[in-house]
Structure 1
């Protein structure tokens, strides 16, 4: 039978937050902590050993990831007087993203920011060999600081940990096709998590699952058929780069998706750069070394109120995950996927962005030159004669000649590509700083944005960037240089521009101009 909220010492019941068919989340005031908390407790007493284990596993998974700022924190666990186990968690007053986006779809800037933050939490779980298995808008909560936090690890599992009789619950509208199609060779793992995150971000932009287009048959069977067949939505009001990245994440073939959640997040960061949004930090927390104690080892599982029966293999448990269960939000149980073991690799602690190389020392800057003090032997150096300065005059003449030569080259009539081509940053471009230590600069790719009737903003990216790079640019009537990878040019429609990278020390230089971009 379904029980009332449990009475817990030092806790004052304040109201219900929500829940599904299996558990409820209540709001309590913790008198010792003097703050509101969320308490998750099963609805019914007399839980089977298998159900109790599943509930305890959720707390263990969240406690292990609790130091990540985008995972809901678990404060405590215990057993209530009526025998039900409960979890004491961080209270997130902002609500879940399913409700928020259902009222008003989120902006592109908000979705990119949320996507990178949640991806950091998921990738951190993967580094600890934990799969979430139920990534969807309803399982992302907004905390009191306005940060998205991943919750509900109730069906989480570990890599290579399988039970031939065990089954998992699926939220169909955000599930990968290989999880719904039992004939598929691959049955989930990291690629399925990438698919669910891509479907979740699409949902936030439109207010509903990408596989539930409005005005069509959105029965459970119809949704499942769209996903399994490889059907993809279109017409998203978002930059083309973001549309391509989300479509790639939701590809039917798992091999066609980004290889990891981290790779997907880096693609989102590239789009933030292209849109001139602030780049969100990708927070990653690498798993501890095998000989180090796990931070969450202090988590204590609640004891059963009575002596549990003989331990048996876990049987299927159907747990609706939505606050208001709907026919299409939870579906048939399927066998857990054989999970691929990802190749171990070092992960940065805070961000996937590589550090910029140090700026070279400026030869003529006095603060960068080190001189040994001369011994005080009573002898003072005399002033240099005019004859001793002749090498400086030679160097100055050579530098002047080089500057004139560069100006002649920029103004020369070099052939340019024919036809205006507008380029943009794509989601599968390699890291811009890859090989920056010794590789030549890649050919710039330009994005043109018409600001008004008289001005166009051009911005460009290229591989192997260095902090000291500058840029030469030219139009059909003007030439110039820029210190930053963007410039605003005045002119009526159209204005076309080419860019070339100029390396400060002259090494790895290239005379290759970019394709012409017009705006």
Structure 2
């Protein structure tokens, strides 16, 4: 949006009260209105009167595309569309009050954590559009708004098209466009766009958030359209001059923005998974991938990942990695949609989370001898929960003790060597009691809840078992960490609580968990 021309007067819309101008562009003005029923603030995009004859069909197509896709949590919601009394078409949309990503990155570059989160969420929106047969074709920071819950929302599908009919590039923004859109074949025709065109633009957008400038904009040099096109077509992707950007993220961006479309990620979801791997490498919370798929349930995903992605309507796909099984100190995928330390992805209209069930949810001993047998398939398929684990362990140990006492006078065989237990349990036979964690504290920092505590008797190999206390009584997974701190998204709750227990290296645990809560808001 810009202010290069005076805005048109806002139309009179029944049931809406005009409040202020939000912005103006080449084809439309956007105003803030208050809707009377239901009462809420909305953004209304109004087509300019002089553009009606040339752009009305495109405007209608935008309304239909966004309405089809706007149930996705990272796409701006369309409430209604119509024609005002003075003949101008309009769209009534979700009002996103926070500055869009273009405004944000021009103030200062994004952190790596927030960039990865935003990139994965927008990639999921793009993948959802592609699976519905729609190419966006103008992905850039200015077209990613931010909701009041601080979640990105892709908008402006004004030049979107079906993947079968995309042969024009009018309206595409040069700084984030791939090289093929500037090429013509021998007949002078523009090349066909495809999903990999959107993948390039998404990569260029993520690059921009990190670098604080578009990918081929060179500080101190001419950055006009001709210079940018020349660099986009021939110049290697400049490195991002930031020490905190890992090589794996540089590589992911370089592949997404490869000159040859065939060298790019084949889909937006493949790019999103690459970003998830960077999150795991950096020990960040892993952002779910929300995908809408209208294909039959028995149809396999186009880019199969060995069952790690489950697509059923709108679902949250949590990344699974063997790293989470190998070490208790590695970040695990939480049961609720996570967020990095400086932001949150909580949205009231977000989808449910589908958590794959496997033995990654079971707390493991720090190490298992190479010769030790592993659990069978049936045992791995059953989820184990904290209360059941502790109760079963205590009852089992007691039963073994009674049985041994009963036969001690008859048979006294030599004891067999025992294996390291996978189960955390308090020793009921008089061993040293594991103390409770102390000095628990929970605070709300923005959209996140941060919990800390202390170990009153630190010993080698200590860790902590914790789980979120869900006030709605939904089941929460037990997780194990090495450091005495946890950061969680608030998820719209007035108060957030967790239960924490100290776990010794021999898998003994505090007799009961310590509950730590944030102060009520």
* TM norm structure 2: 0.59
- Write out aligned runs for 1:235-250 (5 A): 235-237=240-242, 238-250=245-257
Deviation at 1:370, TM superposition (A): 12
Is 1:13–1:26's contact at 8 Å kept on the other side of the alignment?
yes
Unaligned runs of 5+ in 1: 291-341, 372-381, 401-482, 488-519
Deviation at 1:343, TM superposition (A): 4.2
1:384 maps to 2:384: no
CA distance 1:31–1:256, change in 2 (3 Å): same
Aligned CA RMSD, in angstroms, stands at: 3.4
Deviation at 1:384, TM superposition (A): 2.8
Deviation at 1:279, TM superposition (A): 1.6
Q: Distance in 2 between matches of 1:178 and 1:369?
A: 66
Deviations 1:442-491 (A, max 9, x none): xxxxxxxxxxxxxxxxxxxxxxxxxxxxxxxxxxxxxxxxx98989xxxx
CA distance 1:230–1:9, change in 2 (3 Å): same
CA distance 1:234–1:141, change in 2 (3 Å): same
Find the counterpart in structure 1 of residue 219 from structure 2: 214
- Write out aligned runs for 1:19-168 (5 A): 19-45=24-50, 47-48=52-53, 51-161=55-165, 168=170
CA distance 1:6–1:258, change in 2 (3 Å): same
Find the counterpart in structure 1 of residue 449 from structure 2: none
Is 2:196–2:266's contact at 8 Å kept on the other side of the alignment?
yes
Find the counterpart in structure 2 of residue 267 from structure 1: 274
- Write out aligned runs for 1:217-228 (5 A): 217-228=222-233
Q: Distance in 1 between matches of 2:24 and 2:91?
A: 14
Deviation at 1:69, TM superposition (A): 1.0
Deviation at 1:368, TM superposition (A): 7.9
* TM norm structure 1: 0.59
CA distance 1:485–1:270, change in 2 (3 Å): farther
Q: Distance in 1 between matches of 2:92 and 2:214?
A: 30
3-state DSSP of counterpart to 2:254: helix
Find the counterpart in structure 2 of residue 395 from structure 1: 416
3-state DSSP of counterpart to 2:265: coil
Is 2:169–2:181's contact at 8 Å kept on the other side of the alignment?
no
Deviations 1:229-254 (A, max 9, x none): 14211243122221121112111111
Unaligned runs of 5+ in 2: 1-5, 305-309, 321-355, 363-374, 397-404, 421-478, 484-521
Find the counterpart in structure 2 of residue 351 from structure 1: 317
Q: Distance in 2 between matches of 1:6 and 1:365?
A: 65
3-state DSSP of counterpart to 2:290: coil
3-state DSSP of counterpart to 1:271: helix
3-state DSSP of counterpart to 1:18: strand
Q: Distance in 2 between matches of 1:98 and 1:206?
A: 12
CA distance 1:162–1:189, change in 2 (3 Å): closer
1:200 maps to 2:205: yes
1:276 maps to 2:301: no
Structure with bigger RCO (C-alpha 8 Å, 6+ apart): 1
Deviations 1:319-361 (A, max 9, x none): xxxxxxxxxxxxxxxxxxxxxxx94866362115243523545
Find the counterpart in structure 2 of residue 171 from structure 1: 173
CA distance 1:58–1:233, change in 2 (3 Å): same
3-state DSSP of counterpart to 1:16: strand
Q: Which residue, 250, 261, 266 being the options, matches 1:254?
A: 261
Deviation at 1:101, TM superposition (A): 0.8
Deviation at 1:162, TM superposition (A): 5.0
Q: Distance in 2 between matches of 1:41 and 1:141?
A: 18
Deviations 1:348-398 (A, max 9, x none): 621152435235459x99838999xxxxxxxxxx943655452xx2623x8
- Write out aligned runs for 1:450-489 (5 A): none
CA distance 1:68–1:399, change in 2 (3 Å): closer
Q: Distance in 2 between matches of 1:267 and 1:139?
A: 23
- Write out aligned runs for 1:432-511 (5 A): none
Count of aligned pairs: 340
Which of 1 and 2 has greater Rg? Answer: 1
1:367 maps to 2:392: yes
Deviation at 1:187, TM superposition (A): 3.5
